[in-house]
Structure formats: C-alpha cells, structure tokens
C-alpha cells in the first residue's frame, strides 16, 4: 500500500513538474510587447443602458457572420458571410441573392461609384465585377503579404480605395494572438485603381480594423482595436500625410466605422467591453505568454454586449447605444452580436456581426447619449 501511494505521489510530482516546464518554456508564436494600457474611462462617461435590447433581426439563418455591411444608393443591403458568400438583400433582409463567393472570408464591404470592393481576411483586397467574377486587386504591400485584410471604404470625392490589414503576423483565426502580443504590424493602405499600386499610409498599428473615408474625402479614419482608439489620417489640405488621434481610450474594442452624412457623425461598433485582466497584464509580457500556453477555455471571457457609439467629426460623443442581458435573461433575450459594424440609412441603423446569424435593425435613436 505504501509503495502504491509513493508511486502515485511520484507520478503527481512528475506531472506537476512537466506542467511547470510546459507553462514556462513551451514555444509560442507570440512575442508579447510591454505597454501601458490607459485606465478605463469612468462608467458615467459611457453608462450602461438597454437601448439596443429590441434590435430587430433580419435575414436570420441565411448565414453566419454578416460582419461588414454596406448599403447602395438604391437602398440595397450587402453583407459577407463566413462561408465566403457576399449577398445582397432589400432593406427588410429579404430577396437575398448571392453576388459572389470569394473563396475566403469576406469582412468589410464598400459599395459606390467605383464598384463593389471586399476586404477578404484570407484573399486580400477584392473587387466583385458584374456577373459575380471576383478580381483580386492586392495581396501585399512593400514586400509584406497581407495576413488579415479587415475593412475597406471609398468616397466619390477621392479617386482611391482605402483598406486595412489588421496584422502582418497573424491570420483571421488568430486575432487573439495579435491582441495578446500587442505588436505593431497593422497597416492602413491605399489602392490606386488606375495604376494598381498599393501604398502604405500608416504602419505600426495595433490591430488595424475599421476604415471610413471622411466627408469630402478630407481624411480617412482607422480603428486601432488593440489600443482602444481611432486614428485620423489626413488626405487633403495643409495636414495631408499627417495623422492624429480622433478618439482615445474607448471602453471596448473598436471595430468597423461608417460615416453618417445625414446626421454629421461617425458610427463605431464596439466588439466587446475591455477585459480588466488583459489591461492588468499589459506591462507584463511574461504573463501574456503564460496565458497563451493555457487552454483557451481558461482565458478571460469577453462579455456579450451589443454596443455602438457615434461621434461628431471632432470626436465628441453623440450616441451611446448598448444592451447586455441580465444573467437571468441571457438565454431568453441574449444580446445581438458581437456588433462589428453599424450603418445608417433612411432613419434606420443596420448592424453586422462576425458571429451572429442575423443582420440587426433599429430605428435611429434620438435620445441623449447618456440616456439610460
């Protein structure tokens, strides 16, 4: 009996030693960078509310993950799905038709006078031509191939197409690896339709996400998801070629952007609230390396919350729309999302999600930004 207990104890000790060695030394693909996460904004700046509770679900079940949305001048709604399809609907989410299958993962979509463009996380910057043919426009810049093309936008006031590559190190299925590393391989890029040239406008971004060309094509906005902020890069005027922070220290992970010309504002989707555990590890790369080695079910969990913000063109908060289901209703009335895009059209807001099975719709709210 004693020998059996001793043997069992030795086995436990050996397992513990092997586990310790694994956690301390097992190679991982990330190279975490120490940084100082800003203190989260006070709760009264973005008070929680239920203004997105009754969001209507359109085209539910057509596909998974209508992440990026676009609406053309005829009032037709465009969305790309996880299985590669890019679809077009009427504004009720009905009469869906498949425009094309990209063979990758279409994320951001831009529809305008120049055509239909898709930011495909796996295949690069694409254009959908008449008849559904998919044309690959760009797969890299400056000798560095794209790993995670995320969003795209165009403007009638500008001859180019603007898009983002979230990470030059990690692909679509590895977004959390890039966030944990907090590297700076994200880029804001410009594509010239006449010459086929791709130019890097901004590099060194921490997960470059949503892109939106401002009014009159004066600037382009880009979400820096892992830094909780949105940057503005000036295209025209005295500040052309310069950039600045448009809005800083957001309460969540910023995703896609859109310009609302009717209300003179910018809509921003927030993927989820910030993770206090992740912020606490910002200055400790070793802890993030350790976290990457443990099973993902032990990682800090994002709270499911529908969340969208709007700002005026000076970066001042206008609207704060949220809904997070109380614990007792989380299975009865769950939050839509995570919200990854918000687009306004005709007095209505349309919402996209990278994981949900529907497109969201809500009449344009008029209440003050801090209304409960």
* 253 close to 228: Cβ distance less than 8 angstroms: yes
Q: What are phi and psi of 343, to 5 degrees?
A: -135, 135
pLDDT surpasses 50 at 21? no
Q: How many CB atoms neighbour CB 242 within 10 A?
A: 11
What is the DSSP secondary structure assignment for residue 55, as one 8-state letter? P
pLDDT tens digits for range 142-182: 999 999 999 999 999 999 999 999 999 999 999 999 999 99
pLDDT tens digits for range 304-363: 999 999 999 999 999 999 999 988 888 888 999 999 999 999 999 999 999 999 999 999
Please name the residues in contact with 256: beta carbons below 8 A apart, sequence gap of 6 or more: 67, 68, 108, 151, 209, 210, 223, 268, 269, 340, 341, 342, 352
pLDDT tens digits for range 45-88: 999 999 999 999 999 999 999 999 999 999 999 999 999 999 99
Q: How many CB atoms neighbour CB 25 within 10 A?
A: 9
In the chain, the domains with their CATH numbers are: 2-363 (2.120.10.30)
* 318 close to 327: Cβ distance less than 8 angstroms: no
Reading the block at residue 366, the tokens are 């008029």
Residue appearing with tokens 């305008």: 112
Burial letters 321-337, b for 16+ CB under 10 A, else e: bbbbbeeeeeeeeebbb
Reading the block at residue 198, the tokens are 């791709």
Angle at 62 between CA 139 and CA 88, to 5 degrees: 60
Q: So what's the pLDDT on residue 19?
A: 42
């Amino acid at each position: 009996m004693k020998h059996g207990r001793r043997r069992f104890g030795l086995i436990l000790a050996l397992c513990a030693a092997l586990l310790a060695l694994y956690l301390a030394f097992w190679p991982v693909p990330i190279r975490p960078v120490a940084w100082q996460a800003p203190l989260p904004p006070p709760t009264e700046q973005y008070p929680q509310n239920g203004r997105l509770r009754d969001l209507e679900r359109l085209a539910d079940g057509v596909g998974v993950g209508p992440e990026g949305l676009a609406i053309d001048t005829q009032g037709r709604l465009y969305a790309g799905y996880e299985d590669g399809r890019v679809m077009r609907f009427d504004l009720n989410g009905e009469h869906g038709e498949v425009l094309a299958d990209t063979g990758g993962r279409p994320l951001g979509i831009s529809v305008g006078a120049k055509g239909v463009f898709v930011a495909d996380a796996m295949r690069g910057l694409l254009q959908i031509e008449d008849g559904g043919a998919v044309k690959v426009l760009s797969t890299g810049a400056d000798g560095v191939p794209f790993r995670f093309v995320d969003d795209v936008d165009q403007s009638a006031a500008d001859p180019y197409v603007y898009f983002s590559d979230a990470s030059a190190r990690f692909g679509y299925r590895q977004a959390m690896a890039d966030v944990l590393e907090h590297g700076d391989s994200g880029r804001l890029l410009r594509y010239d339709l006449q010459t086929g040239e791709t130019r890097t406008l901004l590099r060194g971004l921490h997960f470059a996400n949503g892109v939106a060309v401002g009014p009159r094509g004066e600037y382009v906005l880009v979400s820096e998801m892992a830094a909780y902020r949105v940057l503005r890069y000036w295209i025209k005027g005295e500040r052309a070629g310069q950039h600045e922070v448009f809005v800083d220290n957001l309460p969540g992970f910023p995703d896609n952007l859109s310009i609302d010309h009717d209300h003179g504002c910018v809509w921003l989707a927030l993927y989820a609230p910030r993770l206090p555990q992740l912020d606490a590890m910002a200055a400790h790369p070793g802890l993030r390396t350790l976290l990457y080695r443990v099973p993902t079910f032990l990682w800090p969990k994002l709270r499911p919350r529908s969340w969208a913000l709007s700002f005026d063109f000076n970066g001042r908060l206008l609207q704060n729309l949220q809904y997070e289901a109380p614990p007792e209703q989380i299975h009865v009335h769950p939050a839509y999302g995570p919200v990854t895009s918000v687009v306004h059209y005709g007095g209505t807001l349309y919402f996209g999600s990278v994981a949900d099975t529907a497109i969201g719709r809500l009449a344009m709210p008029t209440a003050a930004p801090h209304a409960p």
